[in-house]
Chain A
C-alpha cells in the first residue's frame, strides 16, 4: 500500500514530508501489517478494513474510468461542452434573440426548438458514447489477474480493478500487465523476462526486462510474504522510457541516508544516492531502472511466469498517463466547409445590412405620410429610421439564420456515423483469421480517407508479415544463392495465391520442372495439404495454429525450414568433419583453409551472436538448462584469470541438438540432409525433458500450463528445440544455421552451446554480450572459443557500419589483396541483396589476444561500475572492442510482404498516392527522411522532419491487413469524400436558395424582415421536410460503382484534387442557388401578382415549390437511386403535406401571426397552386439539368466516364486493361499537376496490370531502395517503395465482382487466401494496422500514416502508438488538427 503523504509511516517533520510528496512515492508490500500494528492479526484486519473502506484519494487503484459523465454531471457538463462549439453558441444566441420583443421574428419557444433538438441529439450521442466507454471500462476492469492474497497465502484470481499499489501480481506467458509492475521474480533462471510493447510503442521486437537486482539471486521461489523492502520511486509520470527508484531491503523503516535532504535541497534527484549505494550494498539497497518495470498494456512473452509488485496502478500508470484523452480531428473537407460557412455568415450579414438600410429608408419614406400600414411604436411615438434599421438588421439575422445551416452539422455527424458503420461492416475488410474487422476510431475524418496524398507506412509488420526468413548468404566472398530455398519461399507464395488463381501461369510450371525430384514431391504434397486443410476449415486451422505458435514467437514453419544450399552445406560438413578429426590438436582451425575457416566462423557467429534462448517444446515454458549450474559472468579480472586456466571442452556425448535438427529436417521432407535419426535418442531427449519440468513446475498449476499440455497432446509430439528470440531476424539466422546442422542447443547467461554432427557439442564461454543499439547498429558477443581457446568477438551488424570497422588490409601482400577482393565481392553481393529487397547483415569476427582482452576488460568493468554515464561509457567500450574486424560474410533475410501488398501498393500508386515507407526507430527517422527526399525527389519541397519527433498515439483506423488499405481508401475513402462533399455542397445550396426566397421578398415588404413563409415551415423545413433525402444520398450514394473504382484507382485522384468540393464548385453552387431562388420566388410572385392572395396562402406554394425543387435538385445530384432514396423523397413530400394539413387544421386562432388556418386545404383546391408547383421547379432546375447533361456528354469528368463505362459495357471490366487504358488514363495527365502534389513520381510506373509470372528474384527486381537493417532492430531508413511488380499475378483480384453474388464469393475467397505462414502468425497479434491520418501543411495535403500494433487478446479495445513524423513546418498546422477524434479511439485497455 502506498504511503505517499500519509502519516502512517515516516514520522518526520512535515516539511520534509511535503517535499517527498512532491518527488517520490513510497510503496510497501500490502501483505505486511501496517507499521505500528502490534499483532499481525489485528493488522490484517485493519488492512482489510482499509481496503474495504476504499482507498484514500491519492491512492489510485487499478480501476479504469474513462467515462466523462455521471448521471448528475451529465447535463451541465455536456451542455458546457456543447457550448464550446461556436455554431451552437450562435444558434442559441439567435434563438434567444427572439425573446427580445423589438426584434423577434418567431415565437420564442418555437425558435428554441431546433436548437434544443440539435443539442438533444448531440447529448444523446455523447451519452451513448459515454455508455460504450463505460462498458469497455467495465470489461477491462473485470479482466482477471492472479494477485497474492494475504488471507489465503496464495495467488488468487482478482479483477484488474481490484489491484492496488503494493499488491503482488503473478503473470503468465502472453498475459497483459494490468498495471505498472516492478519485476521481482521470473521463471527465467536469469531473472529475465521478455515483454512486447507493441501496445505502447508499436514495436514488435521483444524487450528484455530484469528482475530487481538482489532478487535475481534468490535460489528458492519468490515468496511475497517475505518481501519486506520499501520501494522508493518517482511520482507517476508519463515518460515511458524512464523509471528510477530504489529499494530498501529492510523490514524496518528506511533509514534516510545522511545527505539525502541536502542532496535534494541541492536539487539533485534522490535516486542518485540510491543508485550509488545500491551497487555496493550487496543487495541491501537496489537501484530500480526502467529495465525492472513492466508497463501496463505490455504483454509477457517467451517467459513462463513473472511476479512483481504493483508500483503504479490505474490512471497513474505510464500508459494511461500517456493517454491524454480523446482528441478531436477535423477533416480537410470540414475545414474547407467551415471556411465556406464563414462566407455564408458574411453573406448573411450583407443581406441583413442591405435589408436594414432598405428598411430605414422605407420607414423614413412612409412614417410621416400617415401611411395606414405604418405602425408606430407601442407607446405611439414614431420610430426613428435608424432604430428601425437596427431592429430590422437583428430580425433579419433571425429570419435568415437558415443560411447558417444548423442542420448541416447534425447531418454531417449522422452521415459520418453511417459511413463509419459501413466501413466497419465491410465484409471485405474483415479478416477471418484474426476475427477482426476494420475499426474506425476516429468518427469524423472518414472523408479524409478519400483525399489522402501521402502514405507513410511502417514497413515491418505492416507491409511485411514480420516473418524473417533466411534467404541467401555470402561467405568469404562466395555467394550461395540458395536457389532451393528461393523455390521453397516461392512455394509459400504460390500456396497463398493458389486459391485465387484463375489463370494457370506458365512460368511457375516450368520452374517447378527444374526443381529436383525430391523437392517437387515435397512441394506438391505441401501445397495439397495446405489446400486441403484450408478448404476444410481455414479459420479453425488458422486459430489453432496461431494458438500453438503462441509458445514461441517468430517460429512459423516458413521461418524455420530453411533449405540449405548444397555447396555451402558441403563446406560446412567438411569443416565439421575435419575439425572433428583435428579437435584435440593444438590449433584445430589452422587445419582448415581460410575459406573453410570463415565458413565455420560464419556459422558459429550466426548461431551464437545473438540473444536467442533455447527452450524445449515438451515444457514450452522451460528453458533447457539446470538451474544450479548458474554461474555469474565475468565480473572481475581475477575471475577472468581464474576461469581462463586451460579448460576442458565441455562438448560431450550428447547430440540432442543435432538430433532435433535432423528430426525436423527429416520431418519436413528435406532430402538434402542425410543424417540418420534414431528413435533411441529421441527417447533420451524425452526423458531428459522430464526432470526439468519437475524442477520448474510449481504449486500453482496455472490454466495456461494445463492448456499448453493439452495442446501438446493434441499435436503430434514434436521434439525440436524452440528458439525464443527477441527479434525475428535473430531467430531467422539461428534457424538458418540449424539448417546447416550448426545447432544452437543451449544458452546460459555465461555460456552458449552449439551442436555439430561430427564435432558434437561445442560450449562457448560467453564473456560479454554487447547488445544492439541504434547508433552502433550492430551487436557483438565476446566468447572464448572452445577449440582454439582464443577470445573471439563476433559482430553482426548493418553492412554500412560493419564494413567500415574492418581491419585495414594492406594491398601489399597476397592475403591482404585477397581480403580486399573478398570485401568488394561481399559488397557487391550486399548491393544485390539490397536490390532484391533483402535485409542485409554483415557478420564479422575479431580475435583478441589475452592482453588486448584484459586491457579492454579493465576499462569495460570500469565503465560498468561507473555510477554515472555508465551507458555512455559502455557504449564507448563497445566501440573500442568492435574494431579491426575480419569480415566473414553477409546474409540476406527476407521479410515477406503481406498478401497482396505489391498489388495494393501499385493500385495506391495509380491512385496518385505517394507512398513512403518508414522503417526502424524514431531517432534517426528525420535525417533519413530528409536524405531519402533528396535522393528520390528532385524537388525542393523536402519534407523535413523534426527529430524531436515523438511517439504519438494517434490511431484513427485499424486495418487487419495492409491490403485492405486499397479498399479502404480507393473505395470507402472515395465514397466517403464524394458523398460528404456533395452533401455539404447540397446543404449550402439548399440553405442559400431557401434564404434567397426570403430575401427577395424583402423587396416587396419594405425590408421589414417579414416572411411569407410560415414560421413553422421556416424552422422545421431544414430539420424535418428536407433533411432525410440528402441524408440518404449522403450515406448511400455511390458515385461510381465499387468494381469500377477498384479497377480504376486513378479515380481516387478526384478526391485528392478536391474535384467534388472546390471553392469554384461552391460558388457555382451558390450562384445556382441564387438563380433558383429567384425563379422560385418570381414565378409565384408573377402568378399571384395583382390577385387577392394573402401572405401565407402565397408563401405556402413557395415552400412547396422550394421543397420540390430541392428534391429534384437532389435527384439530379444523386447517382444511385435505391429504394431508400425513393422512399425518403416520397416521405418528405408526404410529410410536408401531412404536417401542413394537420397544422393548418389544428387551431383556428393559434400560431400568430400567420394563423394559417385552412390555408393548405384551400390551396389544394386551387389549380394555380398545382400549376405553379409543376412549372417552377422545372424552370429552376433547367439550367442545372442542361449543364449537367451537356457536361456528361461533352466534357465528362473521369468519374462520369467511369460510370458511363460501367453502365455501357459491364463486361468490359473483366478486362481491366482496356478499361483503364480507354476510360480514364487519357485524362490523367490533365489532373496530374493539380493542387497539393509537391512530389513527382520519378520512377516509371509499371502499369499495374503487368503480369509477371512468378516470384523469381528477377520478378521483383524493380529498382527500389532497400532497407539495410540490423538484426535486433531495423536501422532507420525511409525507403521509397517503388511499386514493385506484382510477384504473383492475381488476375482474380482484378476481376471485379460484377454482381452481388460474385463479390460475395470473392469476399469469401479472399479471406481464405491467407498465406500458410500466417497461419502460424504471432500469438495474440491480430495484425492490426493502425492508421492515423492527419493533415500536414496544406501543400502536402493529407497524410496517411500507420504503424502496426497489437490488438488486445479480447479484441475489444486496443491502442496503437505510432511513430508519427512531424512536419518540420508543423507550426503551420492549425490547432484544429488535433481537435476532433472519435471518442472511443485511443482507449487504453
Chain B
C-alpha cells in the first residue's frame, strides 16, 4: 500500500480555467457611461449614412402612370370597361401620353406595377412545377399535383407551364414612342427586353424541353397551354431565345412578388440614342390592354425609373437611417444627463 503525497485522487477534478469557470472574459457593464459613446457614435454614423442615402435616392427620377382605366382617367378606361363583361376580354389598346421637360437620366427602366395582387398567397405561390420549367421532359408530361387545378387541361392533357402562377401571366404589352420635336413624328424607342430576368433564372432555372426535330412546338406537342393563355408557350415570342419557358416576361412573372403591391421589370431603355436616358420631348406609351385587374380591385401602373447604385428609388432607407440616427443621438443625450447626474452620486459613494 503506497500513497504518494502528490498523487491526485481518482475523483479529483481537473483544475483548468474551463472546468473551474475561470475563463478570461470581457465583462461589459451596461450603464450610461458605456452606452453614451455607443449611442453617439451609432447616431452620428447613421445620420451620415442616412443623409447620403437620402440624397442618392432623391437623385432618382420616377414617372408613373396608373393605366388601370378607372372611369375618366384616360383612354384606358374604355378598355377597362370593355373587358368587364366578356370572358376572354377583347384585344384593346390605349395610350399614355407624357412629356419630359428635360433629360430623364438613364439608364431608364420600365416597370409595370400591380396592386392588390396577392402573388404571395400560399396556394398561388406553390402552384408551379420547377422541374417542368427546367425543361425536364417527364415533368412536362406529368406536372406535379401542386399545379392543380391547372395541372391538366379539360381534355386531360398536361398543362405546360402548369400552375396558377403561369396561368395568371401578365399579358399587357407596351411600346414607347418619342416625339422629338413638337408636332414631329413619333419614333419608337427601342425597349431592351432581353436582360430583364435574373441571369440565373434565364440561364439555369428555366430551360425549354429538348427540341424535337429542331422544333420547340413539337417538343411541346401533347401539352395544353394554361386556360387563360391565348397562345401556347412556344409562341410567346418569335425569338427562339425568348420563347417557351425561357421567355423573359414569363420568367420575370414566375418570380413571385413578395408583397401584394409589386413591380416587375418590363424593359430597359439603353439602346441607341436613349442610352443616356430619355431626352426631353413628348412621349407616348401604346398599351395593349389585356390583363383584367379591376374585378378584384387591382391597379396597373406603368413606371419609368432611373436607378442608382442602390437600385431604384427608395427614399425610405435614407429617412429611416436619419430617424434611427436621431433617436440614437437623442438617447445619447438622455444618457449624458443620466451619466452626469448619477456619476456624481457614484463618486459620492466612493468617497
Which A positions have Cβ atoms within 8 angstroms of B? 101, 105, 362, 366, 369-380, 395, 422, 424-428, 430, 432, 435-437, 536-540, 543-544, 710, 975, 1004-1006, 1008-1010, 1012, 1036, 1038, 1041-1042, 1083, 1085-1099, 1116, 1119-1125, 1148-1150, 1152-1153, 1155, 1157-1158, 1162, 1166-1168, 1171-1172, 1175, 1178-1179, 1182, 1185-1186, 1188-1190, 1192-1194, 1196, 1200, 1203-1204, 1207-1209, 1222, 1300, 1303-1304, 1307, 1355
CA distance A1174 to B125 in the complex (A): 30
B263 proximity list for chain A (CB < 8 A): 1090-1092
Does the CB pair B296–A1178 fall under 8 Å? no
Nearest chain A residue, comparing its CB with the CB of B331: A1186
With an 8 A cutoff between CB atoms, is B12 at the interface?
Answer: yes
A1010 with B121: CB separation less than 8 A: yes
One of A372, A536, A1150 near B5 (C-beta < 8 A): A536
Shortest Cβ distance from residue A425 to the other chain B in the assembled complex, whole angstroms: 4
Asked if B31 and A1193 sit within 8 Å, CB to CB, the answer is: yes
Least CB distance, B348 to chain A, in whole angstroms: 11
Task: Out of B5, B25, B30, B121, name the residue touching A537 (CB < 8 Å).
Answer: B5
- For this complex, 5 residue pairs linking A to B, each with C-beta atoms less than 8 Å apart, are A422-B19, A1095-B256, A1153-B125, A1192-B29, A1204-B29
Question: Which residue in chain B gives the minimum CB-CB distance to A1188?
Answer: B30
Q: Are B146 and A1152 in contact (CB under 8 A)?
A: yes
Contact in complex: B149, A375 (CB < 8 Å) = yes
Choose among B13, B120, B293, B321 the residue that contacts A424 (Cβ–Cβ < 8 A): B13
- A1042 touching B131 in the complex, CB below 8 Å, given contacts A371-B296, A1004-B260: no
Q: Residue B257 at the A interface, CB < 8 A? A: yes
> Judging by beta carbons under 8 Å apart, are B21 and A1152 in contact?
no
Excluding A375-B127, A1158-B200, 18 further A-B contacts by CB distance (< 8 Å) are A372-B167, A372-B168, A373-B124, A427-B13, A1004-B120, A1008-B122, A1010-B120, A1094-B256, A1120-B25, A1120-B26, A1168-B317, A1172-B317, A1175-B46, A1178-B328, A1185-B38, A1186-B335, A1194-B342, A1200-B31
Q: Which of B91-99, B176-184, B306-314 contacts A (4 or more CB under 8 A)?
A: B306-314
A1076 to B80, CA, bound (A): 43
Q: Given A540-B3, A1149-B130, A1193-B31, A395–B296 Cβ distance below 8 Å?
A: no
Q: Is the CB of B9 within 8 A of A432?
A: yes
- The answer to whether B34 and A1189 touch across the interface, beta carbons within 8 angstroms, is yes
Could you say which residues of chain A place their CB within 8 Å of the CB of B191?
none
Give the contacting residue for A1171; candidates B6, B53, B134; CB below 8 A: B53
By the criterion CB–CB under 8 Å, are A425 and B9 in contact? no
Q: Answer whether residue B138 sits at the interface, using C-beta atoms and an 8 A cutoff.
A: no
The reply to whether A1090 and B113 form a contact with Cβ atoms under 8 Å apart is yes
Distance in angstroms from B241 CB to nearest chain A CB is 19
Question: Complex: how many Å from CA A1096 to CA B17?
Answer: 45
* Min CB–CB distance B14 → chain A (angstroms): 7
Interface centre among B125, B257, B321 (most CB of A within 10 A): B125
Residues of B contacting A540 with CB < 8 Å? 3-5
Among A430, A1122, A1172, max chain B CB count under 10 A is at A1122
B285 interfacial contact with A, CB 8 Å:
no
Determine whether B261 belongs to the interface, using a CB cutoff of 8 Å to chain A: yes
Point out the residue from B21, B32, B42 that lies within 8 Å of A1038, measured CB to CB. B21
Q: B185 in the interface, Cβ–Cβ < 8 Å?
A: no
**A629–B264 Cα gap in the complex (Å)?**
114
User: Contact check: which of A427, A1088, A1182 meets B327 at CB < 8 Å?
Assistant: A1182
- Smallest distance from the beta carbon of A198 to chain B beta carbons, Å? 20
Give chain A residues whose Cβ lies under 8 Å from the Cβ of B200. Answer: 1148, 1157-1158, 1162
Verify if B126 is at the interface (C-beta below 8 Å from A).
yes
CA distance A512 to B237 in the complex (A): 112
The 7 closest A-B pairs by CB, nearest first: A537-B5, A435-B9, A378-B148, A1189-B35, A1192-B31, A1098-B258, A540-B3
Determine if A1178 and B11 form an interchain contact, defined as CB atoms under 8 angstroms apart: no
Report chain A residues within 8 Å CB of B122. 105, 395, 1005, 1008-1010
Q: Does B15 contact A (CB under 8 A)?
A: yes
Give complex CA distance A1088, B310 in Å.
12
Minimum CB–CB distance from B52 to chain A (whole Å) comes to 10
- A1087 touching B320 in the complex, CB below 8 Å, given contacts A372-B168, A1005-B118: yes
Does B314 lie within 8 Å of A1006, measured CB to CB?
Answer: no
A437 & B29 in contact (Cβ 8 Å cutoff) = no
Residue of chain B at shortest CB distance from A379: B149
**B36 to chain A: closest CB distance in Å?**
8
Are the C-beta atoms of A377 and B149 separated by less than 8 Å?
A: yes
- Residues in B with CB closer than 8 Å to A1208 are 350
Whole-angstrom CA separation of A1248 from B111 in the bound complex: 78
A1179 contact set on B, CB distance < 8 A: 320, 324, 327
Is B13's CB under 8 angstroms from A430's CB?
A: yes
Report whether A430 and B12 are in contact in the complex, using a CB–CB cutoff of 8 Å. Answer: yes
Known interface pairs A427-B13, A1148-B204, A1168-B311; A1038-B25 also in contact (CB < 8 Å): yes
Determine the distance from Cα of A928 to Cα of B345 in the docked complex, in whole angstroms: 51
Which chain B residues border A362 with CB–CB below 8 Å? 121
Contact A425:B19 (CB < 8 A) given known A539-B5, A1095-B257: yes
Q: A1148-B205, A1204-B29 are in contact. Are A1010 and B125 (CB under 8 A)?
A: yes
- Chain B contact-residue range equals 35 or more
- The complex places the Cα of A540 from the Cα of B111 at a distance, in Å, of 87
Cβ-defined contact, A1175 with B338, below 8 A: no
- Provide the bound-state CA to CA distance between A23 and B127, in Å: 73
Q: Is the Cβ of B258 less than 8 Å from the Cβ of A1088?
A: yes
Q: How long is the Cα–Cα vector from A1008 to B119 in the complex, in angstroms? A: 11
Chain A residues, Cβ within 8 Å of B256:
1094-1095
Q: How far is the CA of A1090 from the CA of B11 in the complex (A)?
A: 67
Given A1167-B311, A1189-B34, A1190-B334, A1083 and B13 contact (CB-CB distance below 8 Å) = no
Q: Give the interface centre of A1088, A1094, A1121, A1168 by most chain B CB atoms within 10 Å.
A: A1094
Chain B residues 314-351 with CB under 8 Å of chain A are: 314, 316-317, 320-321, 324, 327-328, 331, 334-335, 338-339, 342, 349-350
Q: Give Cα A1186–Cα B263 distance, bound, in whole angstroms.
A: 38
Chain A residues within 8 Å of B255, by CB: 1094
Complex Cα distance, B11 from A437, in Å, reads: 6
Complex CA gap A371/B291 in Å reads 11
- A1200 to B6: give the CA distance in the assembly, Å: 42
User: Closest approach, in angstroms, between the C-beta of A40 and any C-beta of chain B?
Assistant: 43
B161 within 8 A of A: no
Q: Which residues on the A side are within 8 Å of B1 (C-beta)?
A: 710
User: Does B273 sit within 8 A of A, measured CB to CB?
Assistant: no
Q: From residue A1186, how far is it (CB to closest CB) to chain B in Å?
A: 5
Residues of B within 8 Å of A1095, CB to CB, are 119-120, 125, 256-258
Specify which chain B residues have a CB less than 8 angstroms from the CB of A1148 in the assembled complex: 130, 134, 200, 204-205
Residues of A within 8 A of B205 (CB): 1148-1149, 1155, 1157
Does A1193 contact B149, Cβ atoms closer than 8 Å? no
Quick one: closest A residue to B349, CB to CB?
Answer: A1222
Residues of chain B within 8 A (CB-CB) of A1193 are: 31-33, 335, 338-339, 342
Q: Is the CB of B229 closer than 8 A to any CB of chain A?
A: no
Q: How far is the CB of A1219 from chain B (nearest CB, A)?
A: 12
A1092–B111 contact, CB under 8 A? yes
A975 to B21, CA, bound (A): 11
Closest residue of chain B to A535 (Cβ to Cβ) is: B5
User: B29 near A378 (CB under 8 angstroms)?
Assistant: no
Specify the chain B residue showing the minimal Cβ separation from A376. Answer: B149
Contact B26 A1094 (CB under 8 A): no
Q: Find out whether the CB atom of B126 lies under 8 angstroms from the CB atom of A1121.
A: no
A1193-B338, A1194-B338 are contacts. A1004–B259 as well, Cβ < 8 Å?
A: yes
Q: Which of A430, A538, A975 has the most CB of B within 10 A?
A: A430
State whether A366 touches B296 (Cβ < 8 A): yes
Q: Inside 8 A of A1006's CB, which chain B residues have their CB?
A: 118, 121, 260
Inter-chain contact B148/A373, CB cutoff 8 Å: no
Q: Does B28 contact A (CB under 8 A)?
A: yes
Give bound CA distance, A1185 to B38, whole Å.
10
Q: Are A380 and B328 in contact (CB under 8 A)?
A: no
State in angstroms the CA–CA spacing of A1051 and B241 once bound together: 74
Tell me whether A1189 and B259 are in contact in the complex, defined as CB-CB below 8 angstroms, given that A1095-B120, A1149-B134 are known contacts.
no
